[in-house]
A and B are shown apart, each in its own frame.
Chain A
Amino acid sequence: MVASAICGRGMRRIMARPILIMPVLLMPLIFVLSFTGAFVSLTRVEGYGTDNVFNWMAVYAAMQGAVFAGVGGASTTAEDIENGFFDRLLLTPGSRVPILVGTMAYSALRSTIPTTGVLLVSALGGLRLPGGPLALVTVYVATAGMASAFCLLGLAVVYRFRTMRSMILIQVCGFSSMFLSTGQVPIHFMNGWLHAVARVNPVTNVLRFARQGFLGDLTWTMTWPGLVALGAMVAVAGALAVHQLRRLTA
């Protein structure tokens, strides 16, 4: 009940001030348009995986939007801490963990906005679904998971430093984790240190899971590593966040 109240409050705030959602919605749209526009000829390179640049880039842009949504959820908490409202939330009777869960749920819900925006724009650009409607399911699951993970990571940072400025750490982390993966090209296009990093980056598995329906049929081989990666990211970030929440009053 506490978690759903916190989640509901977050959504109501967006409706009260829609401008809050603009960066989360606009930046992914700009990414999808810029990357599909600038890098359209990548599809001509042997082994790219698709002849439709939207089929590759749309998922990347949607997931980047999800990262922004996650960070945005943690930013709401940063704002609450700075203006004192967080004290009132801390006075909630019982365990404080539902506050965290509610914020995470709010971020996951928020991520549907940039995901839907990117998919709609990409559809106008010629996006296809070789894997059928299930392709959309994987994207939404992946983006909700990414938003949750980065929200929890952001909360861990915010509980520790208690300022809005500390969010820059997570923004950098989110941006980097997306860039150092198969966001724009398949892994066999990479060489050197980038190949090594992308191979171990959990985001690469998540992208593979989310993108599979846009490149072909869905398979369990492409699915389970992505789900494991998402689960692990949420679990680790969640543990960090809970730990910092407990230390908040120390």
Chain B
Amino acid sequence: MTCSPKRQAVASRGPNSEHPTVNAGAATGLRLAGVQTLALTRRSVITEWRQLGNVIPGIVFPLLLAAVYTHQFTRAILLPGFPVVDSFLDFVLPASLVQSVSFGATEAGTELARDIENGFFDRLRASPCTRLPLLLGRLCGAVVVAAAKGILIIAIFLMFGTEIAGGPAAAVVLVTAAVLLVIAIGGLGQVLAILTGSQEAVNATFPLVFTSIFMSSAFFPTNLMSGWFREVAEANPVTWIIDPLRRLILEGWSWSDVGQALAVPLVISAVTVTMAVVALNRKLSSS
């Protein structure tokens, strides 16, 4: 039995029931949680697919920016200190990837806030859904969409002549790092959704994410910056992700770069998802 609110009236004894009164073959425990997560992931992906208009900007804008910068920085890439590249396009790939997935990253939180605002969350709560799938379902949905966008972005860059020195394995690392970043941002969005119950509050994080990408090594190397801005950029976790990814593209495979590129978003996502689970538990036990 999947965690479907439509079946709730049939399945549960009542709104406070934890255990569905269904046939003895029903899934329990971990298997149930997995099935529920899958169902909510599916819902999340379908919702996103139906709002394709929201996904398109996340693909078009980073590509437009990359195209514009490639054609306006042809002299800038010759500056002493700039990494050796044939074209700015090679330089900007990790930034475009990160920017693209950041466009939908807050969706997990916005969806949750929307569900809280319109009461659907209460319906899910009253169903036999355990708590973790409520969060993971949406995050997994965002992950699926982000992975699809990431693959598309890399494919387009390859079409336009970019070469990834680290090979296909490096491309996999690129997509994985982007996906982990989405979990990190999505988790933060979910924390806000649970604490405020407001879509507006969650959406306000997007400008923050957008700005933090600009204030990093995304579009220019930090060694060519100066003053307080350089310090901010070097301390920015986005830089710690983009720099090793860029080296994988320009210089070739390196386990230390792989480790850094994956470890940074992994740690951040572990923190934000934990915060979201704690916040959810607090909210559910207090109401």
Interface set of A (CB-CB < 8 Å, partner B): 23, 26-27, 30-31, 33-42, 44-47, 168, 172, 175-176, 179-180, 184-185, 189-195
Contact = CB atoms under 8 A, between A and B. Distances in A.
A41 B71 contact: no
Given A37-B230, A184-B72, 4 more contacts: A23-B207, A37-B229, A179-B68, A191-B71
B215 to A, nearest CB: 6
Contacts of B76: 39, 41-42, 45, 185, 189
Interface of B: 57, 61, 64-65, 67-68, 71-76, 78-79, 81, 207, 211, 214-215, 219-220, 224-230, 232-233
A179 B64 CA distance: 9
Contacts of B61: 175
Contacts of B57: 168, 172
Given A37-B215, A38-B214, A27 B68 contact: no
Nearest to A31: B214
Contacts of A31: 214
B59 to A, nearest CB: 13
Contact of B225 (A41, A172, A191): A41
Main secondary structure of the interface of A (DSSP, over half): helix
Contact of A37 (B64, B67, B73, B233): B233
A41 B68 contact: no
A44 B220 CA distance: 14
A33 B79 CA distance: 22
Contact of B215 (A34, A44, A180, A189): A34
Contact of B214 (A30, A40, A42, A193): A30
A189 B214 contact: no
A38 B226 contact: no
Contacts of A34: 211, 214-215
A58 to B, nearest CB: 15
Given A26-B207, A37-B233, A179-B64, A45 B75 contact: yes
- Specify the main secondary structure of chain B where it touches its partner: helix
Contacts of B68: 179-180, 194
B107 to A, nearest CB: 16
A38 B229 contact: yes
A185 B215 contact: no
For B75, B78, B211, the residue with the greatest tally of chain A CB atoms inside 10 Å of its CB is B75
A168 B103 CA distance: 14
Nearest to A165: B53
Contact of B67 (A175, A184, A194): A194
Contacts of B207: 23, 26-27, 30
A38 B216 CA distance: 8
Contact of A190 (B72, B215, B230): B72
Nearest to B79: A41
A53 to B, nearest CB: 10
Contact of A38 (B65, B71, B220): B220
Nearest to B217: A38
Contacts of B78: 45
Nearest to A39: B220
Contacts of B219: 38-39
A195 B214 CA distance: 24
B226 A194 contact: no
A185 B220 contact: no
Contacts of B72: 184-185, 189-190, 194
A37 B71 contact: no
Nearest to A176: B64
Contacts of B75: 45-47, 189
A53 B228 CA distance: 15
A40 B75 CA distance: 14
B225 A38 contact: yes
Contacts of A45: 75-76, 78-79
23 contacts: A26-B207, A27-B207, A30-B214, A35-B214, A37-B233, A38-B219, A38-B220, A38-B225, A40-B226, A40-B227, A40-B229, A41-B79, A45-B78, A47-B75, A175-B61, A184-B72, A185-B73, A189-B75, A190-B71, A190-B74, A193-B71, A194-B68, A194-B72
